[in-house]
Amino acid sequence: MAQRAEHVVTSLPDGVREEVDRALAPVDAELERRYPGDPGTRRPVHTVYVPADALTAGTPRAWGDAALAALDEHAPDAASFARAVGLPGELAEAVYGRVRDKLATEPVEDLRIDFEDGYGAPGDAEEDRVAARAARLVHAAHEARTAPPWTGIRMKCLEAPVRARGLRTLDVFLSGLLAAGGLPPGLVLTLPKVTYAEQVAALARVLEAFERAHGLPARRLRFEIQIETSQAVLGADGTATVARMIHASGGRATALHYGTFDYSACLGVSAGDQSSDHPAADHAKAVMQVAAAGTGVHVCDGSTNVLPVGTRAEVHDAWRLHYGLTRRALSRAYYQGWDMHPGHLPTRYAAVYAFYREGLAATARRLADYASRTAGGVLDEPATARALAGHLTRGHIHRNRGEYARPHIE
């Protein structure tokens, strides 16, 4: 039987909707510009920091070999590794195999050559030499196809005492890459110890000037903002400074990196309590997360300074801590963190693989129920369905290392 058409009545005067469209057009444009959303591309699960003077052509491979050696010595099979870190037994074989494969083929995803805290101030001539050498090594690694998917430098900050040195190192490194043949894909720059949005805007202006000088595409050079000071989270006027920093970058910010120990010390947290799961850390990262939401900028967790070295029991304790912190971060949607030692790589990758494998069946079932409008045990909203799809997509990208392929150097 045909359904009877409903009699629909409207009463808004003509032209009201058009007036609303005109009034909100600037807001529509602002939303699109400031909040483009997640691009859905592969992102690294970690960043490895190496002092600039310690960098060699074989650094990523050396980290992978050291991580494999640690597994051979302290967890030579899936069962022993699972017991050491608290990995569910049903996942042990699959995760352990993938970890070993990852360490053998792509041990480091994101390498940051450190000219800041991990390097020091050896003098201008020496830092010039090391920066030029770093550029040559990065170029050679890309030519040999041995470079990690992401590589770059952490310069000194833009505070007055070290500003000139930081900008000169940046210039030497970038100019060296161009002289060697071009800027490589996956190039990442990190600005540490930011306190004011004006410092972010200043670096954006420097990079714009560099692009103009060399005829590079606009915004070819982008950078991460390191959140290591209280002023970066909450400004003197009571506003969330980190939100202003993202937009002050002019579209160049790619990530917000939490600095566990600088930030903790800034707040007066005692050395023994400085950790990425401290309440002060949770607050800072929550503010960072809200500020970055929808902007396409992602949040990176900090590191642990507890290294997996010493006896087997000491290594297992450190592994268990790092695994737990990484899993905790993943559940809070911090999908990247710092790794400070080769021994952290096994637990980094184990936590990532286990996180996505554990949630696979339930996530896929909920998404299928939502798509088919099947009544299940959970009533999901459209936004949650998008989150379910995003979880599956991220897991697929990490499993297959995305669709990342190194294009030819410019």
Section 126-154 average pLDDT: 97
Which of 185-199, 279-293, 345-359 has the weakest average pLDDT? 345-359
Task: Please give the CATH topology (third level) of the domain spanning 38-61+106-352.
Answer: TIM Barrel (3.20.20)
pLDDT above 70 coverage of the chain, percent: 87
**What pLDDT score does 229 carry?**
96
Section 295-312 average pLDDT: 96
**What pLDDT score does 89 carry?**
87
**What pLDDT score does 396 carry?**
56
CA dist 386 and 393 (Å) reads: 10
Using the predicted structure, report yes or no on whether residue 165 has a pLDDT greater than 90: yes
Section 150-178 average pLDDT: 98
Instruction: Judge if pTM exceeds 0.85.
Output: yes
Section 179-206 average pLDDT: 97
Section 262-285 average pLDDT: 96
**What pLDDT score does 356 carry?**
87
Section 138-156 average pLDDT: 96
Using the predicted structure, report yes or no on whether residue 405 has a pLDDT greater than 50: no
**What pLDDT score does 399 carry?**
61
CB < 8 Å & 24+ apart, contacts of 320-328: 320/84, 320/85, 320/86, 322/347, 322/348, 322/351, 323/85, 323/86, 323/87, 323/347, 323/350, 323/351, 324/86, 325/275, 325/276, 325/277, 325/301, 326/351, 326/352, 327/351, 327/354, 327/355, 328/277
Using the predicted structure, report yes or no on whether residue 264 has a pLDDT greater than 60: yes
Q: Where are the domains of the chain?
A: 38-61+106-352
